[in-house]
Amino acid sequence: MKFSSSVFGKTKDGKTITKYCMENKNGMRVEVINYGACIQSIFVPDKDGKLDDVVLGFDDVAGYEVNGANHGGFIGRHGNRIGGAKFTINGVTYELEKNDGNNNLHGGFKGYHKMIYEAEVKEDVDAGSVEFSRVSPDMEQGFPGNLDISVTYTLTDNNELVIEYFAVSDKDTVVNLTNHSYFNLAGQAAGKILDHNVWIKANAFTVTDEDLIPTGELVDVTGTPMDFRTRKKVGQDIGADYEPLKIAGGYDHNYVLDISGDEVEKVAELTEDTTGRKMEVFTDMPGMQFYTGNFLTGEETGKGGKAYGKNEGLCFETQYFPNACNIESFPSSILKAHQEYEHVTIYKFSVQ
C-alpha cells in the first residue's frame, strides 16, 4: 500500500488543508481531505485497465467550502431530513436550523462536511487507513451532547473502500452519519448516469410528503417504478408518472434494506456498460438513500472545470431512515449516553 500526503490548499481563513492519498497494488487510488473528511477522488480501472476518477468533487478547498451539493461529504450529526427541524428526547424538545424549507437537512447550514478534522494514518501490508476525528460540542447544530466522532477510510487490495463510523456522546442525542459521494462510473466528467444499471436489495421504501419528509408509511416496491430488485437502468422509469418520483424530481428516496442488520451485507450494485466498471455497496445500516442528483444545477464548477448538471452523479447514502427520531415505528436514530455508535459501509470496485 502506497501512502502520500500533500497540501491541498488553504481555507478562506488561512487554515492549511491536507490531502491523503492511498494507492493499492492494483493501482486503485483514494484521496481524502481533512476538510469535511471528504472523499475527494476515487480512481479505479475500467475493463481495459484505464484509470479514471469516478466521484464528483472539486480541485481546491474553495470548492469544498461552498459545496452546496455536499460532494464527497461526511454528513452529520444527522444525515438526511428531520421534519419540522426538531425532535424530543427525555421530554426536552430541541430546535434545529431550518435549512431545507421548514426542515433540517444534513445537520444544518454548517454540517460535518464543513468542519476540519484531526487525521491519523495507519499503514498495513494489504490495507491503509486514514482516520478523521473531532469532538462535536454540546448543542452544536442544536444537538445535545458532546459527541466524540471519527470516520475511518480504509483502502484494501481487494479494491474495497471501507468506511467505519464511530461516535459516543455524554448525553442522549440523535446520530445518523453517512457519506454523500456522487458516483459516475464512466468518469466524474462523463455526464448523465441514466444508462448506469442499478440493483437494490429492498422490498419497500419510505413514502414522503411533498417536503420529502417520511410519513411513517412503508410502501412495497412491487409493481412500481421504485423496484430495483431486478437490475435495470436508472433512466428506465425515472420519468414515470408516479407521485413519489414527481415530488422528488427523480429518485431521492430511502430504501428499507432487506438485511438482518447484524452484519455487513451486500445491499446494492452499480454497473456501467461502456467501461465495464462495477461498484458493490455493503452495509449494516437499515436504510439507504438512493439519490440521482436531481438538484445538481450546473452552477458549481467541479474537477477539471466540469459543471455538474442534473443526473450526472448518483449517491448511495447508508443511514437510519430520515426523520427516524420523530417516528417511533422506524429503527431509532437516538444514541443513548455512553453507548457506542458503530456502523460500516463498503464500496467495492471491480470490472464485469
Catalytic residues: 180, 317
- Among 218, 175, 196, 151, which Cα is nearest to 293's? 196
Block residue for cell numbers 411533498:
210
- Among 316, 54, 57, which Cα is nearest to 199's? 316
- Among 284, 260, 198, which Cα is nearest to 234's? 198
Q: What are the percentages of helix, strand and coil residues in the chain, rounded to 5?
A: 10, 45, 45
242's grid cell: 408516479
**Cα angle at 211 between 318 and 176, to 5 degrees?**
25
Give the DSSP letter of residue 62: H
- Dihedral class, residue 212 (left if φ above 0, else alpha if ψ from -120 to 50, else beta): left
Report the chain's C-alpha Rg in angstroms. 19
- Among 230, 176, 224, 179, which Cα is nearest to 201's? 230
Q: Is 22 exposed, middle or buried (0-12, 13-18, 19+ CB in 10 A)?
A: buried
- Among 318, 42, 327, which Cα is nearest to 159's? 42
